[in-house]
Each structure stands twice: as C-alpha cells, then as structure tokens.
A and B are shown apart, each in its own frame.
Chain A
Amino acid sequence: MVKTVFSIDLPVLENMCILKNRLQPLDLTGNERRVSIVTGIHGDELEGQYICYEIIRRIKENMEHLCGIIDIYPSLNPLGMDSLTRGIPAFDLDLNRCFPGSKEGDMAENAAAKIVEDILGSHLCIDLHSSNIFLREIPQVRMIEENASMLLPYAKLLNLDFVWVHPSATVQNATLAHALNTNGVPTIAVEMGTGMRITKQFGDQITEGIFCLLKEIGMWSGDVILPKTPIVSSEGHRDVTMVHAEASGIFLPAVKHWNSIKKGDVIGDIVNTLTGEIEQHIIAPCDGMVFTLREYPVVNSGSLIVRILGGDL
C-alpha cells in the first residue's frame, strides 16, 4: 500500500511527494516489527532502485513468508533523482546534511523532519547509497566507532564484503543515519557500486543479505542463503590507505576492483592525451585489497584513485 510521507507544493502546478510502499502480512496481530528500507537521499545514487524493486517483487510473490511490516522508501529526494542532481535542485543542498530537520524550517528541513518522524518506531532501518559517479565501491557498510556494538551484529547478516568502522567526524551529525541511530532506530548505511549506474550483481547480493537479516529478526520465514562473513576494518590489524592523484589527466586503471594488490604493483597511469606522455605512474604503496577504485577517468591533482584495505585479510 502506497502512502505519502511528505508533500509540498512547488511553485507551478506540482507537488513534491515522498512516497513509501508498506508491505505487511494479511493478518496483522498488532505486534509486528517494522523495518524501513530507504534510498535516494542523493539523487545521483541509483543502486538502491534495483534493490527496492527486487525486495518488493520477492515479498509479493511470497506473502505467506512475511511476518512483519516492511516500509520501502525508494526516493527520498525525488526532484534530485528526476534531474540527475545529487542534492535538492534549486536549493543546492545535500539532503543528507539536513537531518534531523525541522518543521519550522524550509522545504528541505520540513522533508527531513517528516522522514525521520515516519521512520521512528522501526526496529531497524537500512539506508542504501551508491558511491558518487567518481568512485566504484564494493558492497560495504560504514559506521562510526560509537555505533559499532549496536550495528555490527546486523551488518554481519547483510551478505556484505566489508564493514568499515571509522572514527566519528562532526560532519556526519546531519545525516539520516545519525539522526536515527541517536533516536533509537539502529540504521545501517550501505554503500555500493557507482553513481548513476545499477550494478545488478551488487543489488542481488544486498537483496539476499536483507532477507537474511529479516529472517534473523523474525520477519521472514522463507529460505535464505548463508550470508558472507564481511571483513571488518576494526577487527585485526587492518588499515585503510588512500592513494590520490598527484597529476591531472586521464586515469587508466591497471588494477581490478575488489582484487588483491602487492606493494609495488602498478595501480594505473595518469596520461596526457595531448602529448601522449604519462604524467604519473601510480604504484601501490602497500599490500591489500582495492575496495574503492576511481571510475571517472578525468582526474585533477588530489582526486582519489584507490582505497586499499591492508593488513591481515
């Protein structure tokens, strides 16, 4: 059943509406748990679209296995998604820097407040992101240290490759995940793939993981796979090393995404397409696994090229 979470008039003959689809068992006992699955905070991140579709499709085909309420929000930033805009068009604002929002504020803050209000009361929330258009990411969850004990048990069920636990940063205060995590709804932010694309393989992987998680918390009685055990950055001696471009030009990768690499291996070249020269020959500074790889070929000095997870894998 489709419900309107938030609606506001735009200047000319249009409403901006944030919609959700509620899936629930035919016979409700009143004691059902609720899980919220959200995506599309960033209008250029589309990986979650396939997952929303796939989850709804599988549930509708097997309603008898559903033992709880699933709310699916496929587009928290509908204007951004419609216009290939990461933020909220016209406001030039990143919606994921507007939480928890306010009823007193402007459109973005109003929308943020309504989104939070609607999700509160859920047992769990899964916030699906893609990377931006510049980087490709393996399916992973990022969380801050303070939330690790609350979120890791859930994250480990999600059939992920990697969980990145990192020290907290002040800028994360205004994200949806932060607003929910500090208000009693454990929220897992999943990141995968690349902006403006759908990587079906990753979508299938996370969809399977979401069903594993639903089964574990008693909301799904159908068969599920055995989820992968993710590498957790905070367990064992593991470091994340970032390599940035030191020249401007066109990046031609020599490594594959989600592959191991040895110190001294060639990561790729930054080339000059006018002179035919190599501007920078990029060498791996350590052993490890490439979990983030530059996708967009044009780079400036400073552009992120790879993130390598080093240490004991």
Chain B
Amino acid sequence: MHKDIVYSVKSPFRSEMNILGYRFGKGEKSACIVGPTRGNEVQQLYICSQIIKTLSRLEKTGAIVNNNEIMVIPTVNQYSINTEKRFWAMDNTDINRMFPGDEEGETTKRIAAGIFNAVKGFSYGIQFASFHTPGDFIPHVRMMETGYQNTSLANLFGLPYVLTRKPQPIDTGTLNYNWQLNGTNAFSVYTSATDYIDEKSANQAVSSVLRFLTRMGIIKYNCHNGFIATTLEEELLMSIRADVSGIYRRFKEPGEEVTFGDLLAEVVDPIEGEVKSQIIAPSDGIIFFAHGKPLVIENCTVYKLIRRLHE
C-alpha cells in the first residue's frame, strides 16, 4: 500500500485539507473506490476505512492479482465532516454536482477536477454515495442509464438490488455520470445508513466490493456468493405519500414485504395526540425506501415500493 495526496485545499484558518489516495497493487488501473463527498456521509467513510483495512491485509498476503492497481479515496471532504456541514461549508455547494470539475473554476469545481484527474482511466469505479432525500434504503447498486451502463456487471456485487436511473439534468455533475461518460464502468453503492453507522449494512457493503473485485479477477478472496440481484428501474418504483403533516410513526422497514391494505405508517396530531391519518399499502410489494424523520410534511414521499415483488 502506498498513500499519496491526490488534491489539497488550503483554508485561511484551518490546516490543509489533503485528499488522500491509497493505492494497492501495481499495474493496470483496475478499480477505484471513492468515499464521501458530503459531510454527513459517515457510514460511507466507515465503509472505506474497512475496505482500506482489508485491502492492506490482502496485499500483505499476496492476494492482489498481478498487474492490478486499486485506489481508494476514503474521503473527498473531511472539512465538511469535521464541521458537521453537509456541503462545502463556505458556499454550501455540493462537490458531487461539480464533476468533471474545472481547474480554473470555483473551489468545489477545482476539488472535483483534482479528484476526477486522479480517478479517471480506471476500468471500474465504485462510489459510496447518499441521496438528496434523507431516509433509509434497501442496500443496492445504482447505475445511471447513460447508454454505457452494464447492469450485468452491477449484479456481480451480489447486493439484493440493482437500480437504474435515467439521468436528469441534476445528475450530470455527479462522479458516477462523468466516470461513465469517460469510459469507466461506474457503480454507486448505497447502504441503509448515511449519518450514523449501521455495522451490518457497512459489512455488507465491504463484502460486496470485495466480491466484485474477486469476480473481476483483481483480488483473490474467498467470499460468499451474495444475492442474485433483482434489477429495477427507478421510475417504476411506486411513491407513497403522506396526506397530512404531523408526527410520523413508521411501521415498516426497507426490505420488508407488504400486502395490499397493510398499515404502513400513521401521522399523529403533534398537539392533541390523535391519529390524523393512516398510510395504507396501495399494492403488494417490497419496501425500497422509507422516510426516516420523526416529522412529516403533507405530500412528502414516505415510502417507495417495489410493486408486486415478493421475497
């Protein structure tokens, strides 16, 4: 393993933010793994640290196959992590909307350009990301439908679901999208947590990456086969919305199977305590996403359902 500084940012008042790259093995640029771009992505940071720990051991025992280089960038934005800001603290911009970046542009575009320079050219790119909408998801691999995506490769992670998304204008600044346009097979891996650590889904994410690297012939590692993934299109997920605002009581978790008519959640009057509304399953299916906050605003999506799918 060797460690170098991929990009560095100076603040007038803080020590330099050195973005580190950990390299394992030598030769072809095989796989690149990128951790948090946002300050609340602590689970993603934890996952990357566990991957670095494991790859260091594997390298020592000669388990990285010859002529393969793996790079891990465990965080792109420790400035925001350390101040508990979600985005770049100075101007509230999101680094994961700035790719491919601009070396002569604004600060976060420079950071994105510095990172993109370091991560482009790898055969496989894996990013641990989070969603704009806070809430809990089924662990899955996400690919952008750029025309270059290869969902059968995404299956090799062995996570239960692979989700494809049609790119919206807002997606064109993400690392995933630009990686793919640049010829890297790019995957975003989502676990069930973001701003807290969920050990179980973190382990699942680490295993999924090791499984993928093994199946691509980059490392030698004995692992469980995982799942044969179900592939979904994001637009076919069914949104279930709250019809009133108030205190939110959730009854179902991501991954749970529900039947038409099941009680999914309740909204309680925040002053008088009565149940104002019951949210009922409009179809059979499996919960893909669940709203996580204790309050809810009318019309907010509280669940996304994979319709008519059974366990």
With CB as the reference atom, state the residue of chain B lying closest to A132.
B91
Does B271 lie within 8 Å of A170, measured CB to CB? no
Of A8, A11, A132, A248, the residue contacting B10 (CB under 8 A) is A248
Q: A173-B169, A248-B12 known; A13 and B270 CB under 8 Å?
A: yes
Q: A248 with B105: in contact, given A8-B298, A9-B244, A11-B247 (CB under 8 Å)? A: no
Q: Which residue of B lies closest to A97 (CB)?
A: B170
The 8 A CB mask of B269-311 against A (1 = contact, 0 = none) is 0110000000000000000000000011111110000000000
A299 to B86, CA, bound (A): 19
Q: Are B104 and A244 in touch, CB under 8 angstroms? A: yes
A-B contact count (CB 8 A): 83
0/1 per residue, A223-249, Cβ < 8 Å to B? 000000000000000000000100111
The reply to whether A300 and B107 form a contact with Cβ atoms under 8 Å apart is yes
Q: Are B11's CB and A9's CB within 8 A?
A: no
The answer on a CB contact under 8 Å between B300 and A11 is no
Asked if residues A301 and B299 are in contact (CB atoms below 8 Å), the reply is no
Inside 8 A of A173's CB, which chain B residues have their CB?
Answer: 169
Q: Which residues of B contact A174 (CB under 8 A)?
A: 169-170
Query: From residue A158, how far is it (CB to closest CB) to chain B in Å?
Result: 28
Does A265 count as interface, using CB distance less than 8 angstroms? Answer: no
For A273, the chain B residues whose CB sits under 8 A away are 12
Q: Is the CB of B246 within 8 A of A250?
A: no
Complex formed: what's the CA distance from A132 to B91 in Å? 9
Binds B, one of A31-39, A103-111, A143-151, A283-291: A103-111
> Which residues of B lie under 8 Å from residue A272 when comparing CB positions?
12
Chain B residues within CB distance 8 Å of chain A: 9-12, 86, 90-92, 104-110, 132, 169-170, 172, 241, 244-247, 270-271, 295-301
8 A-B pairs with CB atoms under 8 Å apart are A10-B297, A13-B271, A90-B297, A106-B301, A170-B169, A173-B169, A300-B11, A300-B107
Q: Which of A110, A171, A302 is the most central at the interface, judged by chain B CB atoms within 10 Å of its CB?
A: A302
Q: Are A301 and B270 within 8 A (Cβ)?
A: no
Asked if A12 and B299 make an inter-chain contact with CB atoms under 8 angstroms apart, the answer reads no
Whether, in the assembled complex, A86 has its beta carbon less than 8 Å from a beta carbon of chain B, the answer is: yes
Residue A92 CB within 8 A of the other chain: yes
Instruction: Tell me which residues across on chain A come within 8 A of B105, comparing CB atoms.
Output: 244, 302
A11, B172: Cβ atoms under 8 Å?
Answer: no
Q: Roughly how many angstroms separate A247 CA and B110 CA in the complex, as a whole number?
A: 13
Secondary structure at chain A's binding surface: helix, strand, loop or mixed?
loop
Q: Which residues of A contact B271 (CB under 8 A)?
A: 12-13
Tell me whether A8 and B299 are in contact (CB under 8 A): yes
Q: How far is the CA of A107 from the CA of B298 in the complex (A)?
A: 7
**Interface range on chain A: under 10, 10 to 19, 20 to 34, or 35 or more?**
35 or more
Q: How far is the CA of A273 from the CA of B13 in the complex (A)?
A: 9
Residues of B within 8 A of A10 (CB): 245, 297
Other A-B pairs, 4, CB within 8 Å; known A12-B246, A173-B169? A13-B271, A171-B169, A244-B106, A304-B106
Do residues B9 and A300 form an inter-chain contact, with CB atoms below 8 A? yes
CB contact under 8 A between A106 and B295, given known A244-B105, A272-B12, A300-B90: no
Judge whether A11 and B12 touch: CB under 8 Å: no
In the bound complex, CA of A273 to CA of B299 (Å): 50
Contact (Cβ within 8 A) A106 B300? yes
Given A13-B270, A174-B169, the answer on whether A301 and B245 have CB atoms closer than 8 Å is no
Instruction: Tell me the bound Cα distance from A174 to B300 in angstroms.
Output: 20
The CA-CA distance from A165 to B106 in the complex, in Å, is: 21
Contact of A170 with B297 in the complex, beta carbons under 8 Å: no
Given contacts A13-B271, A107-B299, A134-B91, contact A302 B247 (CB under 8 A): no
Shortest CB distance B148–A (Å): 19
Considering the complex, give the chain A residue whose CB is closest to the CB of B113.
A302
Q: B300: which of A93, A107, A250, A298 is its contact (CB, 8 Å)?
A: A107
Q: Which residues of A contact B299 (CB under 8 A)?
A: 8, 105-107, 110
Interchain residue pairs A-B with the least CB separation, the first 4: A302-B107, A11-B295, A9-B245, A248-B10
Residue of chain A at shortest CB distance from B271: A13
Inter-subunit contact B10/A12 (CB<8 Å): no
Interface string of A3-21 (1 = CB under 8 A from B): 0000011111100000000
Q: Say yes or no: is A24 at the interface (Cβ < 8 Å to chain B).
A: no
A173 to B168, CA, bound (A): 11
Asked if A301 and B246 make an inter-chain contact with CB atoms under 8 angstroms apart, the answer reads no
Q: A13-B270, A302-B110 are known contacts. Are A107 and B297 too (CB-CB below 8 A)?
A: yes
A103: min CB distance to chain B, Å: 9
Residue of A nearest to B110 (CB): A302
Q: Does A221 contact B (CB under 8 A)?
A: no
Q: Which B residues are CB-close (under 8 A) to A260?
A: none
A300 to B301 CA separation, bound complex (whole angstroms): 38
Determine whether the beta carbon of A92 is less than 8 Å from that of B86.
yes
CB distance from A95 to the nearest CB of B (A): 14
Q: Which of A103-123 contact B (CB under 8 A)?
A: 105-107, 110
Q: How far is the CA of A303 from the CA of B108 in the complex (A)?
A: 9
A132–B90 alpha-carbon span in the complex (Å): 12
Q: How far is the CA of A222 from the CA of B267 in the complex (A)?
A: 55
What is the CA–CA distance of A182 and B190 in the complex, to the nearest angstrom? 37
